[in-house]
Structure 1
């Protein structure tokens, strides 16, 4: 018979306990950092899926390999216009943005 583990904490509960509730400065900093990290990871994954190097992607969208690297590694924030070029010119895709309230 399996026993129930009461020591399990959800990610949401962990973030509330460690960083405060949504709206607090510390929590918003965490959430913003995660969104930037996630965007870089998505670009990285899409580039690999397309079988492209950073240099090839940079050439297609009119930027540099180092800029693509900085975006993928969450060192540089990406402008929406640049993100659109990466997605449309670099990957041949479409960029869709949404706002959640």
Structure 2
């Protein structure tokens, strides 16, 4: 459905500019969004806990630079490292799901 004022919804914009879901260009866009979302979630959780990047790095045995790179989607993180950051550093837990 087209939004008012001849604007496109986000899905319409993505369909028009990146192709439909399942095309290479669209899938690359969606994969990049998932990486960005993870970094943003970690950033938000760290702030909620009142921790600086340095404090989180100290708690998890990493570096401030590494935490920053993850939060800013510059560096990918292994699941084991993500688990350590979330559980040890933030006192939370990681839940993963696979959708087919």
1:18 corresponds to 2:17: yes
* Residue 57 of structure 1: aligned partner: 56
Q: CA deviation at 1:8?
A: 2.9
Q: CA deviation at 1:62?
A: 1.3
Aligned equivalents of 2:94, 2:31: Cα separation in 1: 20
Which structure 2 residue ranges, 5 or more long, are not aligned? none
* Residue 99 of structure 2: aligned partner: 100
Coordinate RMSD, CA, aligned: 1.3
Aligned equivalents of 2:82, 2:64: Cα separation in 1: 14
1:78 corresponds to 2:70: no
| Count of aligned pairs | 98
- Structure 1 residue ranges (4+ consecutive) displaced by more than 3 angstroms after TM superposition: none
* Residue 43 of structure 1: aligned partner: 42
Aligned equivalents of 1:5, 1:19: Cα separation in 2: 22
The structure whose Rg is larger is: 1
Secondary structure at 1:98 match in 2: coil
Which structure 1 residue ranges, 5 or more long, are not aligned? none
Q: CA deviation at 1:73?
A: 0.7
